[in-house]
């Protein structure tokens, strides 16, 4: 039997960068004269930076030119990077370090499959960059999740067929992308939101070695 491979989403699976995205988006909204709540932030999970700004501006009922939007995108990312630059390995989500070490020991390859254009920097900050056999992120794809492009490209880089890939995702659009790619999907979070995943775990802490063994056997 062919060995399985894993494809991990970044934000919400490897690290919780959503809290930093939130701070930067909230400050941007406040500077434009409206508030941006934690529940608004849920709408941005797994969504690209450009699309996130469009969602935020629609919440504030603001119309801007492309030039003004580009300025705000740069401003948001600059603030976001000040938080990212302070990240350390302490921010790796529970269970993930042990899981990656186990997969390495079993010679099971894994790739990143993230919408973030900052993914390589974040992985370097938390000391995981060299562990991944491949990295596919927002710089490599033209179509956002739920389009399967990001995961299909990751499978190609890992030299695996889609049916041998197991995607780990926390966003509904990401689960959809995995299913559109005809891959096995483990959802991390609320099982009603991630209802199309093959398995759901409430948090990364539940992604035990025993659970991983069942997936790969």
Residues that are catalytic: 9, 11
Distance CA 50, CA 149 (A): 17
Q: What is the token pair recorded at 34?
A: 């409206």
Contacts of 176 (CB under 8 A, 6+ apart): 145, 146, 196
Q: Is residue 11 a contact point for ligand B16 (CB under 6 A)?
A: yes
Q: Is 171 in the site for Mg ion (CB under 5 A)?
A: yes
Q: Which of residues 9, 49, 53, 56 is near Mg ion by CB under 5 A?
A: 9
Instruction: Identify which range of 43-51, 128-136, 190-198, 201-209 contacts ligand B16 by CB under 6 A.
Output: 43-51
- The single residue among 4, 5, 12, 28 that binds ligand B16, judged by CB under 6 A, is 12
Please identify, using beta-carbon distances, which residue of 3 and 75 lies nearer to ligand B16.
Answer: 75
Helix (H) or strand (E) holding 187: strand 184-188
- Enumerate residues 43-62 that contact Mg ion by CB under 5 A: 46
127 to 166: interface string for Mg ion, x by CB under 5 A: ----------------------------------------
Nearer to ligand B16, 121 or 209 (CB): 121
Tell me: does residue 138 bind ligand B16 (CB under 6 A). Answer: yes
Question: Is the four-CA dihedral 177, 116, 143, 65 of positive or negative sign?
Answer: positive
Q: Does 116 bind ligand B16 (CB under 6 A)?
A: yes
Total residue length of the chain:
217
Query: Could you tell me which of 1, 5, 17 has the C-alpha nearest to residue 126?
Result: 17
Please report how the helices 18-31 and 66-84 are oriented relative to each other, as an axis angle in degrees rounded to 10: 140
Q: Following DSSP, what letter does each residue of 112-125 receive, concatenated?
A: EE-S-TTHHHHHHH
- Tell me which of ligand B16, Mg ion, none is bound by residue 149, counting a contact when its beta carbon lies within the kind-specific cut-off of 5 to 8 angstroms: none
Given the rule CB under 5 A, which residues bind Mg ion? 9, 11-12, 46, 170-171
């Amino acid at each position: 039997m062919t060995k399985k491979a894993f494809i991990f989403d970044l934000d919400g699976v490897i690290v919780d960068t959503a809290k930093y995205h939130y701070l930067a988006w909230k400050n941007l909204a406040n500077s434009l004269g409206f508030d941006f709540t934690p529940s608004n932030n849920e709408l941005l999970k797994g969504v690209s930076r450009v699309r996130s700004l469009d969602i935020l501006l629609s919440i504030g009922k603001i119309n801007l030119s492309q030039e003004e939007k580009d300025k705000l995108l740069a401003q948001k990312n600059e603030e976001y990077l000040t938080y990212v630059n302070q990240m350390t390995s302490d921010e790796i989500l529970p269970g993930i370090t042990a899981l990656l070490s186990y997969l390495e020991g079993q010679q099971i390859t894994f790739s990143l499959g993230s919408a973030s254009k900052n993914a390589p920097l974040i992985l370097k900050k938390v000391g995981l960059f060299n562990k991944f056999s491949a990295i596919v992120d927002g710089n490599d794809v033209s179509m956002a999740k739920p389009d399967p492009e990001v995961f299909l490209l990751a499978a190609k880089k890992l030299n695996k067929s889609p049916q041998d890939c197991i995607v780990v995702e926390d966003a509904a659009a990401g689960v959809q992308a995995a299913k559109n790619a005809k891959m096995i999907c483990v959802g991390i979070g609320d099982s009603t939101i991630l209802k199309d995943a093959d398995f759901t775990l409430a948090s990364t802490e539940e992604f035990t070695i025993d659970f991983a063994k069942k997936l790969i056997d």
